[in-house]
Amino acid sequence: MLLIKNCKVLVNGEFLERNILVGDDGKIEKIAASGLKTADDVIDATGKYALPGAIDIHVHFREPGITQKEDFLTGSRAAAAGGVTTILDMPNTKPATTTVALLEEKRKLAAAKCLVNYGLYMGATATNLEEVKKAINIPGVKLYMGSTTGDLVVTDKEMIRKFFHCGRKVVVHAEDEELMKKNSEMFKGQSDPSIHAKIRGNEVAGAAVREAAIIGGNIHITHSSTREEMMLIKAKGLSCDVTPHHLFLMAEELKKQGNYVKMNPPLRSKEDVEALWDAVKDGTVSCIATDHAPHLREEKEQGYWEAPSGVPGVQTMLPLMLDAVNKKRLSLQQLIKLTSENPAAMFGIKNKGKIAAGYDADITLVDMKEEKTIKNDDMLSKCGWTPFDGWKVKGVVAAAVVNGNVICSNGEITNEKVKGKEVIFA
């Protein structure tokens, strides 16, 4: 039994001081202002907010095959320290998760090491539609319309259409392969990392989202990053997510941080960033997802064409967003929707996304008044760096509770014995 005392909890749209009693089954037993029995473990959370644990629908924990960059243990440590209690892991591993047998292999790896709860995507290829249909308990299938890290890409329109209408949710990496290749040719011989934002310019994403919207089906546009995409997504009523790096960094950052901020899709202009924030505020954006894509420093230190794309982000999402709440860029209620409630609802994740009796006790305690500087040295990802090194934020993650177990406190992992569980998709 765990008792979290005196925390502020969202009750019918209002933050009220409450105590939360968690049963031995890892579920929230009761929430009350007073009169709860005590427990073996008690946390005094006076002054802190209890948020439903964040659910990050887009991470790359790199297992199997790329564990020099990350694995389920190190990735989930970073998640826990960032207040993320559930992750959905992407399929571009080695081998890629493209068959039921490979999905089962990955299940074993995650079960043995992942400290937070998890779900595992399948990846779409030109030939594995039937496998994807057979898979059990997956959040959906990831379809890359344009190539990126790994070799998962589907460019055949007819095959894309089949996936979009196959009965699974399809999380779409929307970048147009042909346009991108054409642009690459134009910049051959140049090596300034700033060309990345041009090779994968706004029109590359725009063309793919337009195409995806025409094909239709049960699709979700992930890491949407431009003003044009937001207009299309809004007009067509599509669901989408945005990443913290696209909300907090701009293309000029490539001049300062070089290939460290090379990612797909790339960083954009001030106008795009403003459009993303507007879309976050008006509800066009369904959720914030990190696209946590760790690569090692030595890989990022290579030349433009050799350096891999991707940035880590699972540990810094909430601190950055809490700081944004303190700056009144969005409300804490909106943040809860974007990082927990909506992801749970969109993917039909059972018993998650809310702090209420009967729900799983996945709880992130946050201190909205504490200030902290984000530092490379504090990052628990195997890659050991963040594009936000040196950023001062107000609003920190004080603790992460996963299935009723306190696994992280003040940035330190406190329990590696209990592992997370695979989530259940309705």
| Interface residue list for ligand DOR (CB under 6 A) | 60, 92, 148-149, 173, 263-264, 293, 308-310
Candidate ranges 98-106, 127-135, 289-297, 392-400; the one touching Zn ion (CB under 5 A): 289-297
Catalytic choice (272, 291, 360, 362): 291
* 360 contact, one of ligand DOR, Zn ion, none, CB 5-8 Å limit per kind: none
Question: Annotated catalytic, 291?
Answer: yes
* 268 contact, one of Zn ion, ligand DOR, none, CB 5-8 Å limit per kind: none
Q: State which residue has the least CB distance to Zn ion.
A: 291
| Nearest alpha-carbon partner for 379 in 176, 158, 78, 116 | 78
β-sheet bridge partners, residue 219: 170
Please state the closest distance from residue 124 (CB atom) to ligand DOR, in A.
Answer: 13
Q: Give SS3 for 369.
A: strand
Question: Residue 26 or 266: which CB sits closer to ligand DOR?
Answer: 266
Any residues with CB less than 8 A from the CB of 118 and at least 6 apart, and which?
72, 76, 86, 87, 88, 89, 110, 420, 421, 422, 423
What DSSP letter does each residue of 100-128 carry, written as one string? HHHHHHHHHHHHHH-SSEEEE-EE--TT-
Q: State which residue has the least CB distance to ligand DOR.
A: 310
Q: Cα dihedral sign for 141, 234, 155, 245?
A: negative
Please state the closest distance from residue 293 (CB atom) to ligand DOR, in A.
Answer: 4
| 56 lies in the site for Zn ion, by CB under 5 A | no
Question: Residue 205 or 285: which CB sits closer to ligand DOR?
Answer: 205
First-last CA distance in the chain: 28
* 264 contact, one of ligand DOR, Zn ion, none, CB 5-8 Å limit per kind: ligand DOR
Instruction: Label residue 154 left, alpha or beta by phi (over 0 means left) and psi (-120 to 50 means alpha).
Output: beta
Please state the closest distance from residue 223 (CB atom) to ligand DOR, in A.
Answer: 7
CA distances for 360 relative to 68, 153, 182, 396, angstroms: 33, 36, 49, 23
| 63 lies in the site for Zn ion, by CB under 5 A | no
| 291 lies in the site for Zn ion, by CB under 5 A | yes
Where do the DSSP E strands lie in 176-291?
219-221, 239-242, 287-288
Q: Give SS3 for 321.
A: helix
Question: Residue 142 or 354: which CB sits closer to Zn ion?
Answer: 142
Question: Residue 69 or 337: which CB sits closer to ligand DOR?
Answer: 69
Question: Residue 170 or 396: which CB sits closer to ligand DOR?
Answer: 170
Q: Which residues are catalytic?
A: 291
User: Where along the sequence are the contacts to Zn ion (CB under 5 A)?
Assistant: 291
